[in-house]
Amino acid sequence: MKKLFSISIIFISATVLVACSNNKSTISENKEQPKTEQSTSTSSIEKTKPDNSQYKEVTSLLKGRLNPGNTEAATISIENNITTPDNTEPHDNIKISIIGETKESYRKSLEALNSNSATRDQNNDIVLVRMSISEFAKKLPDDKTTITIGYEKSDGQFEIIAKSSKVKDFNPIGEFQ
């Protein structure tokens, strides 16, 4: 419960920080060039690694808020050119996987909310996460990229708590009680 409270406070802080920050972006001049491999024949094959440097600012903010003092409450990865049932156009996704004790706490809160039996604190925890992800998504470099936060279920599926793009919240945020 202490970690859940800490994460909630962190999300509030992050929301305030995002809302109050100016819109200056740091653009890295160091762009990775595509690598070319020469095969035994006369053709060459280009292998390009996706340029995820455009997400550096947002992922740094997320890492700082989700893992204060290296608590390892969440992992962040970037999925490139994916499609989902609710977003069929290819897009990038910043995936936040909640782990450890924090995962269990959010699992209970989300299940209670989905079954209409959530306590006030459980409801507010989920609303706060959804609001925070929505605010972080407004810092994304384009309208197609999404941020998803959730946890791995026992059957290998990813349970989404919140998903937002710069222009759309895919989950209803809800209201504080």
What string of DSSP letters covers 137-151? HTTSSSSS-EEEEEE
The structural domains of the chain, with segments of one domain joined by +, span 53-169
- CA-based nearest residue to 139, from 167, 119, 171: 167
**Residue 145: other Cβ atoms inside 10 A:** 19
> For residue 79, is it left (φ>0), alpha (ψ between -120 and 50) or beta?
beta
pLDDT in tens, the chain (177 residues): 555 555 555 555 444 344 444 333 333 333 333 333 333 334 445 557 888 999 999 999 998 888 777 778 899 999 999 999 998 999 999 999 999 999 999 999 999 999 999 999 999 999 999 999 999 999 999 999 999 999 999 888 999 999 999 999 999 999 999
pTM over 0.85: no
